[in-house]
């Protein structure tokens, strides 16, 4: 079976294998571009997330108990 031009081009572009050192260097370069938050930002934003989770969980709990009460009164 003859190979088409596209098949030959695709095979030519295949990487030889996984290069661990190249991967590690590229990862290091990408991590150097990241803007890491300060300690104060990390603490305040984590506290905000925890408070929002508590607030949403409380609302879900209250609405669930409301539905239980209403369904118990109806049925």
pLDDT in tens, 28-73: 999 999 999 999 999 999 999 999 999 999 999 999 999 999 999 9
**Between 7 and 38, the higher pLDDT residue:** 38
Predicted local distance difference test score (pLDDT) of residue 15: 60
CA distance 40 to 43: 5
User: Considering the entire predicted model, what is its pTM?
Assistant: 0.56
User: Between 10 and 17, whose confidence is greater?
Assistant: 17
Encode 6-28: b = buried (16+ Cβ within 10 Å), e = exposed: eeeeeeeeeeeeeeeeeeeeeee
Residue 6 in this model has a pLDDT that exceeds 70: no
């Amino acid at each position: 079976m003859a190979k088409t031009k596209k098949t030959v081009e695709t095979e030519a572009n295949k990487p030889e294998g996984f290069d661990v050192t190249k991967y590690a260097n590229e990862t290091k370069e990408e991590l150097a571009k990241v803007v890491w938050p300060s300690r104060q930002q990390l603490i305040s934003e984590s506290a905000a997330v925890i408070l929002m989770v508590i607030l949403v969980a409380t609302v879900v709990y209250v609405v669930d108990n409301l539905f239980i009460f209403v369904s118990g009164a109806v049925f």
